[in-house]
A and B are shown apart, each in its own frame.
Chain A
Amino acid sequence: MTHAAVAASAMRPPFPAERGVDVYNKKLGMWVFLGSEVMFFTALIGSYVILRFGAPGPWALPGKVLNIPVTAFNTFLLICSSVSMVKAYAAIANGDQKWLKIWFGLTILCGAGFVAVQAYEYTHLIHHGFLPSGYRDGSELAELAAANPVMYGQAVAGLYGSTFFTMTGFHGFHVTCGVISMLYLYVTRVLPGKYTKDDHAGVEVVGLYWHFVDLVWIILFTIVYLI
């Protein structure tokens, strides 16, 4: 830690940048990291698109298997958390500790709420017989699909389960990581009032990540639930 401390402080001014871009290291690092995240989700979403268009039968109709209203509420929750993240950043950019605590706390709550609703959604789906491998034999969904094979996309249930759980699962994992790191920052930095008008890199960097995760969800919600 000590060496890192020296290195980190020495790399700040007084060695200004003719070199470099006008972005500090942590923020640049997060942008670069998000570049790799884009490629990761591209791999998952791209596979989904290829599998769905090359599938031997029609996909289940929207809303037949997945509960759109619940997830729409969840989407709303996540968008709210993005807004509150913007508000938190604006507050600390003005040096406002009180509203930073409120907005940042709200962001964490909304994020945690999203994860909770998703966990509920998963247990619900699994209970009804929707698994990564398709519709469980003898389950409620399997019977419905047997009665309406086209509407429930019976022929491609395996692909439906595979792509749905992998994509939303990894998105949920990213949200969970975000919530944990925000919670950590909240306890160690926000509550003790360590962020100031001039030094609030943590809020900005975690905010970038959070907006990215939100954006990915909006894409996933559209292509997995609505289409």
Chain B
Amino acid sequence: MTTAAAPHAAPHAGHAPMGFWRKYIFSTDHKIIGIQFLFVSLFFLLVGGFLAMQIRWQLGFPGRPMPGGGILPETMAPGGVILPEYYIQLVTMHGTFMVFFAIMPLLVGVFANFLIPLKLGAHDMAFPRINMWSFWTAFLAGMIMLAGFFVPDGAARAGWTSYAPLSARPDLSGASYGQMLWCISLVCLGLSSILGSLNYITTVINNRAPGMTWFRMPLSVWALFITAILGLLALPVLSGAAIMLLFDQTIGTHFFDPAAGGQALLWQHLFWFFGHPEVYILILPAMGMVSDIIANGSRKPIFGYHSMVFAIVGIAFLGWMVWGHHMFVSGMNPTLGSTFMVSTLIIAVPSAIKVFNWMGTMWRGNLHFHVPMLNAVGFVAMFVIGGLSGIYMAATPLDMFIHDTYFIVAHIHYVLFGGSLFALFGAITYWYPKMFGRVMSERWGKIHFWLTLLFYNCTFFPMHIYGMGGAMRRIYDPTQYDFLRPYQPLNQFITISAFLLFATQLIFFVNFWWSLFKGKKAEQNPWHDNGLEWTLPSPAPHGNWERVPTVYRGPYEFSSPEVAEDYLPQTRKLPTDREPVLAPVAGA
């Protein structure tokens, strides 16, 4: 059956009990799909972290057998000693898994799915069945990527950016099938993202509850909506590029082969034309959800709601014009470098607006430090470091020195771990009750937060210093270089911190699983929030609302003088509120 036929099915069958497969596996319910994304991407987060630990071992203790490394096959780590070819696979797959299969689906797959219909008062996504396909395509993509480790020659070896011609020529990279699987997987992932994005965009435009005007939407939904537009327009470019790369590897085309007139830089232009919007895909939803959580934790309306929205739109818009800042030293025309430098520096402005508005929200608030709020404030504190360190790279002359060093590694981890992951720890804890009907442990949540903050900074902050010293990234054995050898104690410190950081994340995972079965039962509105999702029972039922709610105000009316409590739900009708004016019904 197609969705086209669906509206004609018997409407009363909707809430009839369904079998396990329909309900939990091939579900079309946006909440279940969100939860499926959550489990799968948490798994990939662990995989990515596990790869990172092996990288850290090699960097801290090059050439020494890795504890437990004996179980790896001879082609990867004979006797537990990591081989250079396996090291490059680790670096490549760590980046790929974290960017494409952990952070991106955690932010977009999980929260766009879960939050958009709930926060807008819709029964489900506009196209529930396409939504299901979006998940299964992403799952397939992840499995194809993972399969890379099990094929001859192992996984892809050209870095997560897969620069051609290294990635296009198996004879030069040494990876044949792995590199092909990398391309195929990303084409699948692109398809999944496009299917998801078109669902999110249509739902946000068309399926808002009465009274939910554009400027009453929560910032999380704004951010997810803009992210969906970025994904819709950026992912097809990646798919196109990955297809060309795959053809270069398999059917003998010459897109990126200079020997036959192809252009090596073409790949970089295509990849970063996708890649920079992708960077904002990885941070905008985090910013949106952090805005929701900070307003809630401060018990105060968000400071400058409209400028927050315009900052999101501005970041997304500028995000299309800065891709060349990844290519200042690539041999690109230096005049283009100047242009890209200016557009890049200007992006700092909307980012600064957001940071100051979060601080403005906390100013004179009544701050409740529940676990989501702790993580949200942690996000702001760490994102600032990541944002500021970006300015060093934006200045072209300086980029010439720190490009491709550990300085950039520190920067990306401050943005993606310090930024996106802290926001995710907050967001998962925050909406966990609505997902599973239970609350995660507060005490272990706090322990996890403080230990993560500590070990995280111990791991990534010294990388700035290592990078300032000129340490190149993706180097298997830094002790090969005289000028890097003195940094080995620093590297060992980073490695030990990274191990502790990884161990700390296990607290989160245990808390997550334990609370699933043993957590405290959640009330309907545990955080005293205003959003529409909190008017539903925890967990939210299938189909969400019996009757679609009516919205009377924006989502951030905390501590309003009009009511005695310090929150005022969007659906609560005060005597002064008017009913929304409804436009004529859309055709067909």
Contacts and interface: CB of A to CB of B under 8 A. Distances in A.
Contacts of A54: 263
A204 B211 CA distance: 30
Interface stretch (B5-13, B61-69, B329-337, B423-431): B5-13
A25 B236 contact: no
Interface string A44-78: 10010011001111000000000000000000000
A158 B263 contact: no
A2 B587 contact: no
Contacts, number: 232
B263 A2 contact: no
Contacts of A16: 210, 582-586
Nearest to A15: B548
Contacts of A5: 6-11, 13-14
Contacts of B205: 20-21, 28
Interface stretch (A105-113, A128-136, A141-149): A128-136
A35 B233 contact: yes
B237 A134 contact: no
Contacts of B198: 29, 32-33, 36
A13 B254 CA distance: 53
A158 B254 contact: yes
B575 interface: no
Contact of A43 (B199, B209, B237, B548): B237
A11 B269 CA distance: 42
Contacts of B248: 162
B542 A3 contact: yes
A15 B4 contact: no
A161 interface: yes
Interface in A128-175: 131-134, 155-156, 158-159, 161-163, 165-166, 170
Contacts of B583: 16-18, 22
B70 interface: no
A177 interface: no
Contacts of A21: 205-206, 586
Given A36-B198, A54-B263, A162 B255 contact: yes
Contacts of B235: 36
A162 to B, nearest CB: 4
A40 interface: yes
Interface string B256-297: 010011110010011000000000000000000000000000
A29 B7 contact: no
Interface stretch (A80-88, A116-124, A195-203, A216-224): A195-203
A166 B18 CA distance: 44
B241 interface: yes
Nearest to B251: A132
A25 B582 contact: no
Interface residues of B, number: 80
B560 to A, nearest CB: 23
A180 interface: no
A50 to B, nearest CB: 6
B255 A24 contact: no
Contacts of B50: none
A156 B261 contact: yes
A104 to B, nearest CB: 15
B385 interface: no
Contacts of B16: 2
A18 B211 contact: yes
A70 to B, nearest CB: 23
Contact of B266 (A20, A47, A161): A47
A19 B3 contact: no
A114 B250 CA distance: 27
Contact of B263 (A9, A22, A26, A51): A51
A155 B261 contact: yes
B239 interface: yes
A7 B543 contact: yes
B586 A24 contact: yes
Given A16-B582, A132-B253, A158-B253, A4 B261 contact: no
B261 A55 contact: yes
Contacts of B28: 1, 3-4, 7
A181 to B, nearest CB: 9
Contact of A2 (B13, B210, B253): B13
Nearest to A57: B261
B293 to A, nearest CB: 25
B581 interface: yes
A54 B262 CA distance: 9
Nearest to A189: B4
A165 B251 CA distance: 11
A162 B254 contact: yes
Contact of B14 (A6, A24, A159): A6
Interface in B201-230: 201-202, 205-213
A23 interface: yes
A11 B14 CA distance: 14
Contacts of A2: 9-10, 13-14, 16, 18
Nearest to B254: A158
8 A-B pairs with the lowest CB-CB distances in the bound complex, closest first: A6-B14, A43-B240, A133-B252, A162-B253, A158-B260, A40-B236, A19-B208, A7-B124
Interface of A: 1-13, 15-29, 32-33, 35-37, 39-40, 42-44, 47, 50-51, 54-57, 131-134, 155-156, 158-159, 161-163, 165-166, 170, 184-185, 188-189, 198-202
19 contacts: A3-B18, A3-B29, A6-B14, A7-B543, A11-B126, A16-B586, A17-B206, A18-B210, A18-B580, A28-B202, A33-B198, A40-B237, A40-B239, A44-B240, A47-B244, A158-B261, A159-B255, A166-B255, A198-B588
Given A2-B13, A5-B13, A39-B236, 11 more contacts: A7-B14, A7-B543, A13-B585, A17-B582, A19-B212, A19-B213, A24-B586, A29-B198, A50-B266, A131-B252, A162-B253
